[in-house]
Amino acid sequence: MLPLCSLPKKASSFLHSLSLSLSAMEETQIASILKSSELYPIPQSVKLSYGTAGFRADASLLESTVYRVGILSSLRSLKLKSSTVGLMITASHNKVSDNGVKVSDPSGGMLSQEWEPFADQIANASSPRELVSLIKDFVEKEEIVIGEKGGGEVWLGRDTRPSGERLLRAAEIGVRSVLGSVAVDVGVLTTPQLHWMVRAKNKGLNATESDYFENLVTSFKCLIDLIPINKLEISTLVLDGANGVGGQKMEVLRGYLSNLDVEIRNTGRDGGVLNEGVGADFVQKEKVVPLGFGSEDVGMRCASFDGDADRLVYFYIPSESCGDKVELLDGDKILSLFALFIKEQLNIIGDEGKQCRLGVVQTAYANGASTDYVKEMGLEVVFAKTGVKHLHERAEEFDVGIYFEANGHGTILFSESFLSWLVGKQKDYSEGSDKHNAVSRLVAVSNLINQAVGDALSGLLLVEVILQHMGWSVQKWNELYKDLPSRQVKVEVPDRTAVVTTSEETEALKPLGIQDAINAEIKKYQHGRAFIRPSGTEDVVRVYAEASTQEDADSLANSVAQLVKSFLGSS
Ligand code: 16G
Ligand code: MG
């Protein structure tokens, strides 16, 4: 507790006037926040928004934000009966000088969207007084009781960015400024590791990083043992670790796995810079090889993680490749491979298996050819707004819901009821029978693939075991369908919020008239499809276009970008 006398005089008199009207927050609590927030003044002229996936900015601007998110995380924990909440310091695929912060709810999923406006408000509060007032109002509204029934618990993780440690200290102070709350530094982790650990902790399961690795190793091995005849020589996988945390964690994991031969490049230890010319975002957007890869790798099976290892894409360099072009197997191709494998197991189980509601969630960015492919497989396909939290929510509607963004974010969710049905069937079917093997595979998949959030490490292990199961090379996998050529461009405009879209982001409702103009352009192209949306992470409007040739996709994207400029003006 902080003695009042240690407060600056001004703050102390404010405290007295405020505390007279406070019921939910005690004087000592207010004093604690006032005092610690003096350490983290908000930088001038910065307006931050929680956005699609937390706050992100130049790391030098973020201490006050991270401190305040620390406070929010303690309150979130208190609101949910002191369950453990996660706070991750990362800016994912952004440049190394940026950083960011996001919160994992006790379920392991993203922070409840209902709390995002509060996150925005406190991040932008211009003074300690305003901060305290906002917190006081929120605590009262949410009926959060501080200090009576024990405090909150927040686990703090960070990626490998040099600014991470300093920001983590700010988060600790924020967490602890809510009286009775504890901050646990769980070290350098991938984002999905932290989400997994938080979920496990709140389920009363073993929740350390070693438990995470053990879980992956056991379920991977189980799936390998269930491969009927191993038709494929295990060939080397070459991994691009984006010079970030994912490659380093893969090095640890590799030590425990005997059925995976993986060479790891871009670990960040050889002088490479995080996300610079490397990583899943770079490879997916540019469709070129990351640094450290070249003609000597032609035909090899390669994969890329992003900076915090929640995105995964595969690629290979075709023999006829001119320059540095790659053949990309993106989130859509990974989703299709997973869907095929799961469907195969359900078919083996027979009529009962076919009753399982297996569904797929994509965004408007999904390549049209992938959507056709999964629909032809007989699966239900739904579309969600961009951003993991939106896809995750829709995937929970199924017994088995597979969701992926084309950029490589995704996972497979198993409903509790379907999972217990599977476990029951494991006992019913005789061991070694086809049906027993199929249900055992599905149970192992549910353990291997991160149920909290998309996870590049666990996704990679599942791709690898399915390829071994099918006896497929990366080239054979790529033949599942042929991507329609596509192009993405971004347009800088004075106000991106002038673009309002439908919930699935496939059509623009505002500015009025723009959708008709886009439709008129689309009509000019065979297999033409295009949409616009305001970015959730950058101050731009994004344009996506697809058509039967690359030339047409480029041309459609450019004409839609011109429309955006003429309706919104360019900045
Ligand atoms: C964030 C999202 C990602 C989304 C991307 C879109 C999470 C964890 N990450 O990186 O899912 O695809 O934003 O960015 O939700 P944009 O709005 O700038 O296009
Ligand atoms: Mg990421």
- Cα diameter, the chain: 77
User: Kind of pairing, strands 301-305 and 237-240?
Assistant: parallel
CA atoms within 13 A of residue 335's CA, in its CB half-sphere: 38
Structure tokens given for 28: 């000592």
Q: What average pLDDT does the segment 354-369 reach?
A: 95
Give the closest residue to 455 by CA, choosing from 412, 410, 404. Answer: 410
Confidence of residue 270 (pLDDT cuts 50, 70, 90): confident
DSSP state of 400: E
Cα distance between residue 441 and residue 223, in whole Å:
6
Q: Is the pLDDT of residue 164 over 80?
A: yes
Query: How many angstroms is it from 50 CA to the middle of ligand 1?
Result: 12
CATH number of 486-568: 3.30.310.50
Length of the chain: 571
Q: What are phi and psi of 154, to 5 degrees?
A: -125, 130
The predicted pLDDT at position 353 comes to: 85
Q: Quick check: CB of 539 below 6 Å from ligand 1? A: no
- Tens of pLDDT, residue by residue over 532-555, are 999 988 889 999 999 999 999 999
Q: What average pLDDT does the segment 422-446 reach?
A: 96
Query: Which ligand 1 atom is at minimum distance from the Cα of 363?
Result: 12
Do the Cβ atoms of 398 and 413 come closer than 8 Å?
A: yes
Exposure of 288 by Cβ count < 10 A (0-12 exposed, 13-18 middle, 19+ buried)? middle
- Binding site, annotated residues: 92, 306, 308, 310, 405-407, 533-537, 542
Q: What are phi and psi of 208, to 5 degrees?
A: -85, 175
- Name the superfamily (CATH) of residues 4-188: Alpha-D-Glucose-1,6-Bisphosphate, subunit A, domain 3 (3.40.120.10)
Q: What average pLDDT does the segment 497-505 reach?
A: 95
Active site residue 92: yes
Q: Quick check: CB of 393 below 6 Å from ligand 1? A: no
CA 116 to centroid of chain Cα atoms: 17
The predicted pLDDT at position 12 comes to: 52
DSSP string for residues in 425-437: HHHHSPTTSHHHH
CA atoms within 13 A of residue 440's CA, in its CB half-sphere: 23
Cα distance between residue 502 and residue 329, in whole Å:
28
Q: Quick check: CB of 53 below 6 Å from ligand 1? A: yes
- Binding site, annotated residues for Mg(2+): 92, 306, 308, 310
Q: Is the pLDDT of residue 119 over 60?
A: yes
DSSP state of 181: -
Confidence of residue 63 (pLDDT cuts 50, 70, 90): very high
The predicted pLDDT at position 148 comes to: 64
Q: Is the pLDDT of residue 2 over 50?
A: no
Cα distance between residue 150 and residue 142, in whole Å:
17
Q: Quick check: CB of 52 below 6 Å from ligand 1? A: yes
Q: Is the pLDDT of residue 426 over 50?
A: yes
Q: How wide is the angle at C-alpha 323 spanned by C-alphas 318 and 326, nearest 5°?
A: 40
Q: Quick check: CB of 363 below 6 Å from ligand 1? A: no
- Tens of pLDDT, residue by residue over 225-269, are 999 876 667 799 999 999 999 999 999 999 999 889 999 999 999
Cβ partners under 8 Å of residue 516, min gap 6: none
**Whose C-alpha lies nearest to ligand 1, atom 5?**
387
Q: Is the pLDDT of residue 22 over 70?
A: no
Q: What average pLDDT does the segment 395-416 reach?
A: 98
In this structure, of 47-56, 83-92, 237-246, the range with the lowest mean pLDDT score is 47-56
Cα distance between residue 323 and residue 316, in whole Å:
13
Amino acid residing at 541: V
Cα distance between residue 364 and residue 174, in whole Å:
38
- Tens of pLDDT, residue by residue over 288-335, are 999 999 999 999 999 999 999 999 999 999 987 667 899 999 999 999
Q: What are phi and psi of 544, to 5 degrees?
A: -125, 135
Helix (H) or strand (E) holding 544: strand 541-546
Q: Helices 550-568 and 514-522 meet at what angle, rounded to 10?
A: 160
Do the Cβ atoms of 370 and 466 come closer than 8 Å?
A: no
User: Kind of pairing, strands 98-104 and 182-188?
Assistant: unpaired
**Whose C-alpha lies nearest to ligand 1, atom 2?**
387
CATH number of 335-478: 3.40.120
**Whose C-alpha lies nearest to ligand 1, atom 19?**
535
**Mean pLDDT, the chain, as a whole number?**
93
User: Kind of pairing, strands 327-329 and 312-316?
Assistant: antiparallel
- From residue 309, alpha-carbon distances to 188, 456, 497 in Å are 12, 5, 30
3-state secondary structure 4-48: HHHCCHHHHHHHHHHHHCCCCCCHHHHHHHHHHHHCCCCCCCCCC
Do the Cβ atoms of 340 and 483 come closer than 8 Å?
A: no
The residue extents of the domains of the chain are 4-188, 235-329, 335-478, 486-568
Do the Cβ atoms of 420 and 434 come closer than 8 Å?
A: no
Domain pair 4-188 / 335-478, same fold: yes
Cβ partners under 8 Å of residue 522, min gap 6: 528, 529, 530, 556
Which of these is catalytic: 73, 92, 163, 219? 92
Query: How many angstroms is it from 100 CA to the middle of ligand 2?
Result: 11
Residue 342's SS3 state is helix
Cβ partners under 8 Å of residue 446, min gap 6: 412, 414, 419, 422
Query: How many angstroms is it from 547 CA to the middle of ligand 1?
Result: 24
Q: Quick check: CB of 538 below 6 Å from ligand 1? A: yes
- Tens of pLDDT, residue by residue over 445-468, are 999 999 999 999 999 999 999 999
% of the chain surpassing 90 pLDDT: 86
Do the Cβ atoms of 394 and 382 come closer than 8 Å?
A: yes
Structure tokens given for 118: 């509060």
Exposure of 20 by Cβ count < 10 A (0-12 exposed, 13-18 middle, 19+ buried)? exposed
Q: In the CATH hierarchy, which top-level class contains the domain 235-329?
A: alpha beta
